[in-house]
Structure 1
Amino acid sequence: MTVQQINGSASNGCNWCSYMRTFTSREEETRDPDDVLSISLSDFYPYYSSPTGKNMYYLNMDLESPKRETRGGWALRIHAFTNSTDQAAPFVTAREVQTEVYSDASRHQIRNWLAECADHSQCPGQVGTILPTRVIEVAPAISPDRPRLLATAGKKGRYAALSYCWGSNSYGELRRSHLNKYLEHLDLEVLPQTLRDAIAVTKSISVPYLWVDALCILQDSDEDKSFEISMMEQVYRGSLVTIVAANSEGVTQGFLQPRKMPMESFNIPFRLSGSQFGTMSVQELDEREYEESEEPINRRAWTLQESMLAHRYLIYSSHTLQWRCNAGVRNHGNSLHLVHYSDDEQTSRSFYALNKPASDSKGELGRWMRLVSVYSKRSSSLSRDKLNAISAVAQGFSPLLGPEYFAGLWQFSILWQLTWVLEVKRCAEAGVV
């Protein structure tokens, strides 16, 4: 099509031509009406994406100016979605991003995810396990609106766990002075918003108990903290689901607020066959990619092992609600999930294989060293937590590499583990070139 034809069609209401016009008008020089724009569109299927379908396309545009004997062009990726009732829905399987993460629809979605996961061969069963030392009973039978701390004494049951960023505030945490009060009831009005949100989510999906470190570990007892930290692997592995407040930088922020609306999209026809058409909405894919590593929770040291130990996750991300289990990742409402295959994701996914017998100890050691490299980039508010915050993962590696373990290093091939160098950016001294 010529630039003149594109402009005319855009003025007559063609959404696709209006989009093309944003490119032909980007250059500072005035386009000749006879300049020709050639377009090719091809679908592609990244491995690390869901759902599968005709949801992503390569768009190549070649602009040729015969009079000036010049050529230019653009190449980008676009994302398509449609609603479930459209005729294109069987082919364009992605749906619009859901920004409401706490609603009747989201609660229904979570229950469906749990039911589907129960049929996954690679996911463990959802029967009750021995509860952690203390849990929050989110809706006691005698007073459903007054959650309380419960000393479990070996009781079995289903529970959720919370993974979150505490931040700089420490009010509401469990201390010996108010243990008895918390065993009677928790005053929701004085708890930080993230903890209140976690209780609300757990209650809404009919899970009776919730484990939160700040409320279930005596924060002023070194003995209690030491014991509970040693049990961290069992706590997260035993949870029915781990609730992840991924987008929240501190415990006072909460994580159930509606997310920001995504960038604008536009509708274009989707040819089915002959004269039959459906409709799909289109966005530039680069604007829709989700950088998991940029979430606040993925900058905190403690949360790396929390993201690796559980079998099921409800992730309240910065753009929508997500589900992750051993079978993969899904977004609420089946919107497109596409992330960069980062070291963090590779490391966490690989940990599921730790239950199988080791066949190559050096290969497992390489995985451990990559994990430590990722972990070292994260921050901890207390320097003494540096080793504690990865100890549960070390327990998981122990059958493969241990048992001799010294502050992040395994006796197995310890000299190799000591051959490292710190990568630093060299800065010139003041006044020196």
Structure 2
Amino acid sequence: CRQNHGCSSPDHPERANYPSRLLDVGMGEDEIITLQSTGTFQNEEYVCLSHCWGKTRPLTLNGKTRAALTKGIDVAKLPQTFQDAVKITRRLHIQYLWIDSLCILQDDKSDWEVESGHMGYVYAGAVCTIAATVAKNSDGGLFSNRGDLLPPSRIDANFDASRSWLADKVNGFLERQIDEAPLNKRAWVSQERQLSRRIMHFGSQLFWECYESQACEMYPVSLPDWALPDPNSDTAKLREKLHHIADQPESNMFSSSHPHASKQGLDLNTYHAWSSFRDKYSKCELTHDGDKLVAIHGIAQRIGQATGDELVAGLWRSRIAEELCWFKKRPATEPTKWRAPTWSWASTN
């Protein structure tokens, strides 16, 4: 991918959007990893972990654990998913790993606000995102137990099978394996997946996803056409547009030659893609009600860069009349704390 695809440049976020902290996992089999401040880093490569926290709170960075993590912690003391992520990062020959719960101070509101504000850039700047797709919590690990034998398929055919061949086509293959997995039901993960350049999904098998290719252990070169998601879907189009926006210098965002700008700096297709994404996102689960808009801030930033528009309480300012035309498809609960005015879709769960 790094040699032959257009996913590779640039691999690093701007200095202002570089993670403040990274875990140094080393390049060998050292049992100790350390938390490092990146103030003196020169855009070193890193990998991100996308995971479910679950009902049990994993080890986190806070005022009490900061000194111990900076000094060094035994990998064996980490939750299983974190341990596996360390192994994969080392196998990729990359020294640094970013995990939200260990790289953002969880008991410091100001630190969390700063780091969450550019989290989209953190995932976009990573060489790759490791996705714990089927793990329901941090103890689930990346690697699934699977049988050595595949269940047989019975097909009743009314033709001469000796002169023909049959293929067992699984409808919704990618959707069932990835989209409907526990990880991708989480709201924060919607943004992580959209902005990551490359993703390794650890599920019933290993899946690969980048801007130009999707593959898995069953189809290591590329998924067949029937297994691929619809390239014309609004969700796929949004991911493609975010990729191009990320590679476009901000100084060129409003030039007439920019592929995502019309004369008014607007692109209806981008907004339509956003609307489809928003509808799916609104069904995702949040641990903290107040994160509804924060969890998609990175995507809103990218679209704002391309259009010159501004997201106001979840609605685009330039299209405020159209954006007000939303309705609930099913009964919805109200958040425990106020987070948006009642005219915004973000005001309901």
> With structure 1 as the length reference, what TM-score do the two structures score?
0.62
Q: Unpaired segments of 5 or more residues in structure 2?
A: 155-163, 247-258, 332-349
- Pairing of 1:236-255 with structure 2 (within 5 A): 236-255=123-142
Amino acid corresponding to residue 423 of structure 1 in structure 2: K
Indicate yes or no: 2:8 matched with 1:124.
yes
Structure 1 partner of 2:316: 410
Tell me the CA shift for residue 128 of structure 1. Answer: 5.8
Query: What CA deviation, in whole Å up to 9, does each residue of 1:42-65 have, x standing for no partner?
Result: xxxxxxxxxxxxxxxxxxxxxxxx
Cα distance between partner residues in 2 of 1:293 and 1:167: 18
Instruction: Tell me if the contact between 1:323 and 1:331 (Cα under 8 Å) persists in the aligned partners.
Output: yes
- Pairing of 1:368-407 with structure 2 (within 5 A): 368-407=274-313
Cα distance between partner residues in 2 of 1:284 and 1:340: 14
Residues 281 and 290 (structure 1), Cα distance of their counterparts in 2 relative to 1, 3 Å cut: farther
Structure 2 partner of 1:334: 219
Cα distance between partner residues in 1 of 2:167 and 2:241: 34
Structure 2 partner of 1:10: none
Residues 151 and 302 (structure 1), Cα distance of their counterparts in 2 relative to 1, 3 Å cut: same
Amino acid corresponding to residue 219 of structure 1 in structure 2: Q
Structure 1 partner of 2:187: 301
Match of 1:285 among 170, 182, 194: 170
Indicate yes or no: 2:328 matched with 1:422.
yes
Match of 1:151 among 37, 44, 47: 37
Instruction: Tell me if the contact between 1:194 and 1:253 (Cα under 8 Å) persists in the aligned partners.
Output: yes
Query: What CA deviation, in whole Å up to 9, does each residue of 1:234-260 have, x standing for no partner?
Result: 211110111111111111111113435
Structure 1 partner of 2:201: 315
Cα distance between partner residues in 2 of 1:140 and 1:320: 26
Amino acid corresponding to residue 306 of structure 2 in structure 1: L
Cα distance between partner residues in 2 of 1:126 and 1:334: 28
Tell me the CA shift for residue 313 of structure 1. Answer: 1.1
Instruction: Tell me if the contact between 1:401 and 1:410 (Cα under 8 Å) persists in the aligned partners.
Output: no
Structure 1 partner of 2:143: 256
Instruction: Tell me if the contact between 2:206 and 2:216 (Cα under 8 Å) persists in the aligned partners.
Output: yes
| 1:150 partner SS | strand
| 1:119 partner SS | coil
Structure 2 partner of 1:64: none
- Pairing of 1:28-427 with structure 2 (within 5 A): 116-120=1-5, 122-125=6-9, 131-139=18-26, 144-155=30-41, 156-260=43-147, 261-264=149-152, 282-286=167-171, 290-291=175-176, 292-317=178-203, 319-332=204-217, 334=219, 336=223, 338-341=227-230, 344-345=235-236, 347-355=238-246, 356-359=259-262, 360-424=266-330
Tell me the CA shift for residue 154 of structure 1. Answer: 4.2
Tell me the CA shift for residue 227 of structure 1. Answer: 0.3
What RMSD over aligned residues (CA atoms) do the two structures have, in Å? 3.0
Residues 376 and 358 (structure 1), Cα distance of their counterparts in 2 relative to 1, 3 Å cut: same
Query: What CA deviation, in whole Å up to 9, does each residue of 1:386-418 have, x standing for no partner?
Result: 111111111011123444321211110101100
Report percent identity of matched pairs.
28
Cα distance between partner residues in 2 of 1:407 and 1:386: 10
Query: What CA deviation, in whole Å up to 9, does each residue of 1:78-98 have, x standing for no partner?
Result: xxxxxxxxxxxxxxxxxxxxx
- How many residues were matched structurally? 299
Q: Unpaired segments of 5 or more residues in structure 1?
A: 1-115, 267-278, 426-433
Instruction: Tell me if the contact between 1:158 and 1:208 (Cα under 8 Å) persists in the aligned partners.
Output: yes
Amino acid corresponding to residue 405 of structure 1 in structure 2: L
Cα distance between partner residues in 2 of 1:344 and 1:396: 15
Cα distance between partner residues in 2 of 1:417 and 1:192: 42
Residues 245 and 281 (structure 1), Cα distance of their counterparts in 2 relative to 1, 3 Å cut: farther
Structure 2 partner of 1:39: none
Cα distance between partner residues in 1 of 2:165 and 2:138: 39
Instruction: Tell me if the contact between 1:402 and 1:411 (Cα under 8 Å) persists in the aligned partners.
Output: no
More strand, by proportion: 1
Cα distance between partner residues in 1 of 2:81 and 2:244: 32
Tell me the CA shift for residue 339 of structure 1. Answer: 4.4
Cα distance between partner residues in 2 of 1:409 and 1:264: 50
| 2:73 partner SS | coil
Amino acid corresponding to residue 69 of structure 2 in structure 1: Y
Query: What CA deviation, in whole Å up to 9, does each residue of 1:91-130 have, x standing for no partner?
Result: xxxxxxxxxxxxxxxxxxxxxxxxx43222x222476665
Cα distance between partner residues in 2 of 1:282 and 1:416: 46
Amino acid corresponding to residue 209 of structure 2 in structure 1: R
| 1:374 partner SS | helix
Tell me the CA shift for residue 214 of structure 1. Answer: 0.4
Residues 181 and 173 (structure 1), Cα distance of their counterparts in 2 relative to 1, 3 Å cut: same
Residues 287 and 300 (structure 1), Cα distance of their counterparts in 2 relative to 1, 3 Å cut: closer
> With structure 2 as the length reference, what TM-score do the two structures score?
0.76
Tell me the CA shift for residue 373 of structure 1. Answer: 0.8
Residues 421 and 239 (structure 1), Cα distance of their counterparts in 2 relative to 1, 3 Å cut: same
